[in-house]
């Protein structure tokens, strides 16, 4: 039976209230209750076997408390999928009673939180910290607000490409050194896998609202940013400071997603729209040889390291890596998207000075290198990027680091989170077949106008 409008509204209200209650409970008392305790909130994996961040922060906590007698660190994990993490975090940041002293911010959301007044500028601290000069400029820019002030210290970046199963490719008669030059070559490889290797999902492209930013960024934008020559942003026009409505490149990107699901080259729609599907991709489908091609990120190997619960020491022999090509092979020939996370101090934090001291402990060269290796991140400190201990630590690091030269960054302005949701909705419409490409693009334009207060331009 179809739910009534009233029941939908009630359910939505209940969900928001539950999220708010969970968020407030997660932090407990305010960060300023004890001047000797720094409260650190971070995103905890929904996969209980993945403890990379927990293990790293436990070690930093031990170092910090040893170096600062009488000071304590309280770790406040938020265990949730990405979209719920952002909601819970913002609930916590609104009040001094619930705001922690330090929070883990996705760079795509940071400008929204800056505009909302949730974060404290760090320029006063950074000016006195010599290690800040070690960070690359693009990473610094990712944590900079429109007011020119810096609101976070980045702990790495990432790039994205195509992972493929060498065993599946061998069974399908596809080359072990596969390096597609166009979108059609990617789709043709998926079609070959579907025909010759039954029981295997040919291609995964994250899609729809449940996947959140994974759909918008490493699904859709990995396509969209490959539809032009790479010199202009297809989402945001910096000259006019307006968002760009759906044009040919946007529709072509939706058509690619539509093709994947219409031809059954991707997972079942119910799986694709499962918010935890990414965990299944990393923990089951790729290691078990049940997925041919995955459009995904540089961080995947963190799930396969010793002690992860999904140990897969053979991954570098069993998986191949290829750059995502531009639509028709036009220059520069390949495309990547980059993001990353930063450590930020809430505006309502009770112990900001202590929080920055904790950041400095996390960001010694040795600790930064340890983190980049542990989470399969791309270094944003020049001294670490040039360190052989980092470069040689893990297969794939050199491949993904090289993609930085071809990468793009989201237009992370305050309206971007709403724009991202509009992209996810457009993708979901063509994924389920509820909308044609043209209908999804038209609805995107309407959602874009609403999300940006009609600050849009056609290109």
Query: Measured between alpha carbons, how far is 328 from 210 in angstroms, rounded to an integer?
Result: 30
Segment 429-455, tens digit of pLDDT: 999 999 999 999 999 999 999 999 999
Cα angle for residues 235, 140, 378 (degrees, 5° grid): 85
Cβ-contact 257, 430 below 8 angstroms? yes
Antiparallel, parallel or unpaired: β 242-244 and 456-457: parallel
Q: Which domain holds residue 167?
A: 160-338+413-457
- Domain end position, chosen among 378, 404, 430: 404
User: Per the structure block, which two tokens stand in for 293?
Assistant: 């091609």
| N-terminal to C-terminal alpha carbon distance within the chain | 43
Q: Are residues 294 and 366 in the same domain?
A: no
Q: Are residues 212 and 280 in the same domain?
A: yes
pLDDT of residue 402: 86
Query: Measured between alpha carbons, how far is 136 from 401 in angstroms, rounded to an integer?
Result: 13
Among 258, 262, 259, 233, CA closest to 247: 233
Segment 102-150, tens digit of pLDDT: 999 999 889 889 999 999 999 999 999 999 999 988 889 889 998 999 9
| C-beta atoms surrounding 312 within 10 Å | 20
Q: Are residues 86 and 207 in the same domain?
A: no
Q: Are residues 400 and 420 in the same domain?
A: no
Which of 9-18, 25-34, 384-393 shows the highest mean pLDDT? 384-393
User: Per the structure block, which two tokens stand in for 316?
Assistant: 């570098």
> pTM score, two decimals?
0.81
Q: Are residues 417 and 331 in the same domain?
A: yes
- Looking at the structure of the chain, the number of domains it has is 2
pLDDT of residue 254: 98
Bigger pLDDT: 335 or 23?
335
pLDDT of residue 31: 61
Mean pLDDT across the chain, nearest whole number? 90
Query: Which burial class, exposed, middle or buried, applies to 450 when counting CB atoms under 10 A from its CB (0-12, 13-18, 19+)?
Result: exposed
Instruction: Name the residue with tokens 């809430």.
Output: 346
318, pLDDT greater than 80: yes
Segment 228-271, tens digit of pLDDT: 988 899 999 989 999 999 999 999 999 999 999 999 999 999 99
pLDDT of residue 30: 61
Kindly indicate the confidence band of residue 169, based on its pLDDT and cuts at 50, 70 and 90: very high
Q: Are residues 271 and 348 in the same domain?
A: no
Q: Are residues 334 and 345 in the same domain?
A: no
Cα angle for residues 225, 227, 231 (degrees, 5° grid): 60
Mean pLDDT of 30-52: 84
| List of residues 6+ apart from 78 with CB closer than 8 A | 23, 26, 41, 42, 43, 44, 85, 88, 89
Cβ-contact 318, 395 below 8 angstroms? no
Antiparallel, parallel or unpaired: β 341-344 and 102-106: antiparallel
Mean pLDDT of 323-339: 96
11, pLDDT greater than 60: no
Kindly indicate the confidence band of residue 29, based on its pLDDT and cuts at 50, 70 and 90: low
Q: Are residues 318 and 445 in the same domain?
A: yes
Please report how many Cα atoms fall inside a 13 Å half-sphere around the Cα of residue 111, on the Cβ side. 17
Q: Are residues 281 and 203 in the same domain?
A: yes
What is the three-class DSSP state of 238?
coil
Q: Are residues 209 and 348 in the same domain?
A: no
E strands, 211-367, are: 236-237, 242-244, 291-297, 319-322, 324-325, 334-338, 341-344
Cis peptide before 356 (omega within 30 of 0): no
- Tell me the helix, strand and coil percentages in the chain, rounded to 5: 50, 15, 35
352-362 and 365-374 are packed helices; what angle lies between their axes, rounded to 10 degrees?
A: 70
pLDDT of residue 375: 84
| List of residues 6+ apart from 21 with CB closer than 8 A | none
- The CATH code of the domain that includes 257 is 3.40.190.10
Q: Are residues 131 and 44 in the same domain?
A: yes
Q: Are residues 176 and 314 in the same domain?
A: yes
pLDDT of residue 9: 34
Segment 201-212, tens digit of pLDDT: 999 999 999 999
Range scoring the smallest mean pLDDT among 191-200, 380-389, 421-430, 435-444: 380-389
């Amino acid at each position: 039976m179809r739910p009534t409008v009233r029941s939908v509204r009630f359910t939505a209200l209940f969900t928001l209230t539950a999220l708010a209650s969970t968020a407030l409970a997660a932090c407990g008392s305010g960060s300023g209750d004890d001047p000797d305790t720094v409260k650190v909130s971070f995103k905890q994996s929904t996969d209980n076997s993945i403890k990379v961040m927990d293990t790293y922060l436990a070690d930093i906590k031990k170092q910090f408390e040893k170096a600062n007698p009488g000071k304590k660190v309280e770790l406040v994990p938020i265990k949730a999928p990405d979209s719920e993490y952002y909601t819970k975090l913002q609930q916590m940041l609104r009040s001094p009673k619930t705001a922690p002293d330090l929070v883990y911010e996705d760079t795509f959301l940071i400008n929204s939180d800056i505009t909302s007044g949730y974060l404290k500028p760090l320029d006063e601290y950074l000016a006195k910290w010599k290690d800040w000069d070690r960070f690359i400029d693009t990473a610094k820019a990712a944590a900079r607000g429109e007011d020119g002030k810096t609101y976070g210290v980045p702990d790495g970046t990432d790039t994205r490409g195509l992972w493929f199963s060498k065993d599946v490719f061998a069974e399908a008669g596809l080359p072990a050194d596969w390096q597609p030059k166009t979108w059609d070559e990617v789709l043709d490889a998926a079609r070959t896998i579907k025909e010759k290797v039954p029981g295997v999902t040919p291609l995964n492209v994250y899609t729809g609202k449940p996947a959140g930013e994974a759909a918008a960024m490493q699904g859709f934008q990995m396509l969209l940013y490959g539809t032009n020559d790479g010199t202009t942003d297809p989402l945001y026009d910096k000259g006019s400071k307006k968002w760009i409505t759906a044009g040919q490149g946007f529709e072509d990107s939706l058509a690619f997603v539509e093709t994947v699901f219409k031809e059954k080259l991707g997972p079942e729609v119910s799986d694709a729209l499962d918010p935890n599907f990414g965990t299944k991709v990393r923990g089951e489908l790729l290691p078990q040889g049940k997925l041919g091609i995955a459009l995904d990120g540089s961080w995947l190997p963190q799930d396969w390291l010793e002690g992860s619960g999904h140990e897969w020491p053979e991954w570098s022999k069993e998986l191949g890596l290829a750059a995502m090509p531009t639509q028709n092979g036009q220059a520069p020939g390949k495309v990547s998207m980059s993001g990353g996370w930063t450590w930020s101090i809430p505006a309502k934090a009770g112990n900001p000075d202590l929080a920055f001291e904790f950041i400095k402990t996390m960001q010694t060269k040795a600790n930064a290198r340890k983190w980049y290796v542990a989470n399969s991140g791309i270094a944003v400190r020049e001294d670490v990027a040039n360190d052989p201990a980092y470069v040689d630590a893990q297969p794939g690091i050199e491949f993904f680091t090289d993609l930085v030269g071809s990468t793009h960054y989201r237009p992370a302005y305050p309206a971007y989170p709403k724009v991202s949701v509009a992209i996810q909705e457009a993708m979901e419409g063509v994924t389920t077949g509820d909308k044609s490409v043209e209908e999804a693009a038209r609805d995107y334009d309407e959602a874009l106008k609403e999300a940006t207060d009609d600050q849009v331009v056609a290109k």
